[in-house]
């Protein structure tokens, strides 16, 4: 399996400012981050304020961005901030750069699409067959087409489930209840990205069983996708 470069997730065209930058967290991440800050300061003979100014110029951000992290005002660290500091080390000592890169990557456990986002996902660092399929599906049409189906032999119970979901998630577009087999009824809906965390927690909390309606090859992948949302 090939190790994924998490820092390539940052897209400078889309992620145009600190409020839209991907951030990460994990056990030991802050300590490793603090170590690379100290390393950069030593290699360039910078004081903390000088380094904060340099980072501000490089990333076109506030001078307080790095300083706030060092003061632990936030537990989440921007991927491109880490990458910028690593690149400064690489210019001076590539061997030490590789060492710090491996340590930092190993200590990144979780990601958020932006600092204020409530969505937290586990950081996948290895490209296995499942991740390759996931990337291929997304590259094909820009979506994973995650569709959920609620099924039951009890038509009345299914009506109650549908009403319950509709009352709690009015933005979801629920299909009509249809007959699948002789004694099986179902309805389905596409999972909106902004509701993904809430809807699956809701279904589990109310003991509503569901299946994924896309290709069989992606059923396992869909389950893993849901499990990886914290």
Instruction: Name the more confident of 190 and 64.
Output: 64
User: Average pLDDT of 170-178?
Assistant: 87
In the chain, the domains with their CATH numbers are 2-126 (no CATH), 133-227 (3.30.70)
Look at the block and give the residue holding tokens 């506030």.
62
Mean pLDDT over 204-211 rounds to 88
pLDDT at 216: 44
- pLDDT at residue 130 above 70? no
What pLDDT sits at residue 229?
47
Comparing 207 with 14, the larger pLDDT belongs to 207
Residue 164 has pLDDT above 90, yes or no: yes
Distance CA 152, CA 200 (A): 18
pLDDT given at position 86: 96
pLDDT over 90 percentage in the chain: 45
Q: What is the pLDDT of residue 200?
A: 84
Strands (E), the chain: 2-3, 23-25, 77-78, 110-112, 121-122, 126-127, 147-152, 178-181, 184-190, 211-212
In which band, very low, low, confident or very high, does the pLDDT at 217 lie, cut at 50, 70 and 90? very low
| pTM of model > 0.75 | no
**Which of 124-133, 139-148, 195-204 is most confident?**
195-204
- How confident is residue 181, by pLDDT bands cut at 50, 70 and 90? confident
User: At 103, is the pLDDT very low, low, confident or very high (cuts 50, 70, 90)?
Assistant: very high
Arithmetic mean of pLDDT over the chain: 84
Give the pLDDT mean for 200-215.
Answer: 80
pLDDT band at 29, cuts 50/70/90?
very high
Q: How far is CA 153 from CA 64, 101, 156, 179, 213, in A?
A: 59, 54, 9, 9, 17
**pLDDT at residue 64 is higher than 60:** yes
Residue 230 confidence (pLDDT) above 60: no
Question: pLDDT tens-digit profile of 37-52?
Answer: 999 999 999 999 999 9
Residue 210 confidence (pLDDT) above 50: yes
Among 137, 30, 133, 109, which residue's Cα sits nearest to residue 74? 30
């Amino acid at each position: 399996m090939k190790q994924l470069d998490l820092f390539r997730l940052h897209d400078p065209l889309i992620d145009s400012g600190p409020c839209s930058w991907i951030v990460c967290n994990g056990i030991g991440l802050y300590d490793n981050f603090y170590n690379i800050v100290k390393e950069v300061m030593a290699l360039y003979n910078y004081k903390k304020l000088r380094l904060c100014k340099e980072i501000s110029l490089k990333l076109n951000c506030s001078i307080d961005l790095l300083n706030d992290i060092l003061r632990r005002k936030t537990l989440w660290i921007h991927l491109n901030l880490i990458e910028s500091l690593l690149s400064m080390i690489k210019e001076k000592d590539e061997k030490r750069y590789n060492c710090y890169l491996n340590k930092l990557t190993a200590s990144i456990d979780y990601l958020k699409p932006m600092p204020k986002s409530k969505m937290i996902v586990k950081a996948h660092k290895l490209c296995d067959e499942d991740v390759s399929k996931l990337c291929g599906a997304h590259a094909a049409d820009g979506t994973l087409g995650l569709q959920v189906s609620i099924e039951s032999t009890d038509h009345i119970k299914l009506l109650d489930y549908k009403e319950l979901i509709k009352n709690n998630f009015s933005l979801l577009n629920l299909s009509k209840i249809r007959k699948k087999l002789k004694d099986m009824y179902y309805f389905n809906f596409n999972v909106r990205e902004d509701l993904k965390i809430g809807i699956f927690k809701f279904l589990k909390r109310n003991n509503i069983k569901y299946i994924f309606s896309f290709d069989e090859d992606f059923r396992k992948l869909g389950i893993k996708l849901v499990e990886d949302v914290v």
